[in-house]
Amino acid sequence: MGVMSPRLVIAWRPIVAEGRLTTCELAISIDGETVWPVRGESEIALEVQIDDLLGHLTDFWKPLMLRQVYPIDVSPFRPSDLRREATRRWAEMQPEAVEKEEEAVSAFEEAHDLARAFAGLFGLPPFWILRSGHHVTLETAGALWRLPFDEVRAVLSVAGDQICERLAAACGGRWEAAIEAWRRRDEADQVGLLAWSAGMDRALARALIEEGTLTAPRDFNDAANDDDELRIAARMAGALPAYQIQQVVSLARQFEKRDTDQLDGLAEACSAYLATHCAGDAPFIQGESAARFVREQLGIAEDRKVEIFTVAADLGVAVRHAQAEPTTLDGLAIWGGRHGPGVFLNESSRRILHRRGPRGDVKTSEGARVTLAHELCHLLLDGGHALSAIEVLKARMPASVEPRAKSFAGEFLLPSRAAAAAWFEAGRPLGRADVEAVVVDLTKRFGVTRSVAAWKLQHGAAVHDVDLAAILDSIAPRR
């Protein structure tokens, strides 16, 4: 039997033999290629008990469908990297704290690795499933795929339904409890639904509901739709103390809903461009490509400084700034059904606080300009789903989202070709003092931070097979 979507196939074939009514051969394919249990081997399937698969899907349905964050303060690019990054983190922590985090990591692995369903079979490669906004990251055998969330949810739902049909037909009433549990998989109290979808514990979820900071999901589908920008703001800030989560949600709530035809049109065109020209490219390449496309659409030559605050205003983006906690929050972008689009710039952020011009105006802050460009990328490329239009800290952003926004901001404000042209104009210097002079000139001409200028100069020179990394490491080591 097979469960199919345009990209994902979970295929299981019953084994016809006496006493083996729940035994099947299982294989998973993505984009027409067998990826599990052995990638690339279409003739190999795994002999499993399908009630084990049903039990796993039932027990972990809510985390698989609703959870979008890692359980501790690390930000691995892929699920399989979680334990490795956690182990490095634990080397500098007290044993009691390590024990607590190890339990959280183990629970995460138990839920999100489908291979754990077959605990009696050893040596199976993991098959990771982790939601990220409108998509789900699937990982096995060192490969990653991003499939639409609705498709993955439908595939897993139909797989469970078909298993229930076989169990009911083949085994009489023996599996009634398991079948009923599957049918009730979406049931949960509102506090639990908020806790799962926002990545927080039940006590905090209950408190935020009771004090009116957040509205609880009406039901499982409401939580799965993930279109309440305030709940998503809480998720992005979920690793912070409760009072700081409240402040982040309060900041998001300040932006009233407004119509933005200009932003809508540019966002749609930019997303279509990426889908056509660099859908499979790395996030930083997508970010740079998007930046060049947006500059072209707005008629800004690559050698011209971007008036980023004017660009935001012309696109209908409300920009506000004030002092706020935590100070590690640089900016906040929000756009959803009830709020935004808007960008909040935190005047307490080190990036913004120490980068102002002589008048103290945020608009003269190089750091504020870079932050606003970064948030503009979230609105353009991630704003269709509020998850990615909220930025804070603590490993709460999808791994592909932040590198894309960072590269967009740098390329939008200072194209690599413009940085390279400035280096050529200066006589292609290789000495530290002369290279630093180019960096300083770029910060003034394009209104960017020293780190961004050095970063883009490195990229620009690399196109001409010149490696300035060592010199720039001493000029801007944190770029």
Same domain as 211, residue 283 = no
The CA distance from 145 to 129, in Å, is 10
- Residue 466: which domain range? 416-475
Same domain as 426, residue 306 = no
The CA distance from 155 to 48, in Å, is 19
pLDDT at 322 over 60: yes
| pLDDT score recorded for residue 57 | 98
Same domain as 333, residue 222 = no
21, part of any domain: no
222, part of any domain: yes
447, part of any domain: yes
31, part of any domain: no
Pairing of strands 318-322, 342-346: parallel
22, part of any domain: no
Domain's final residue, options 162, 183, 204: 183
pLDDT tens string 17-39: 766 778 899 999 999 999 999 99
Same domain as 71, residue 108 = yes
The CA distance from 178 to 440, in Å, is 67
13, part of any domain: no
Q: Are 56 and 185 in contact (CB under 8 A)?
A: no
**Ramachandran angles phi, psi of 130, nearest 5°:** -145, 125
Same domain as 81, residue 66 = yes
Same domain as 406, residue 328 = yes
Please give the tally of structural domains in the chain. Answer: 4
pLDDT tens string 334-392: 888 888 899 989 888 887 765 545 556 788 899 999 999 999 998 998 765 443 334 44
pLDDT tens string 157-211: 999 999 999 888 876 678 899 999 999 999 999 999 999 998 888 999 999 999 9
Name the average pLDDT for the chain.
88
pLDDT band at 123 (very low <50, low <70, confident <90, very high): confident
256, part of any domain: no
Domain's final residue, options 359, 382, 411: 411
| pLDDT score recorded for residue 324 | 82
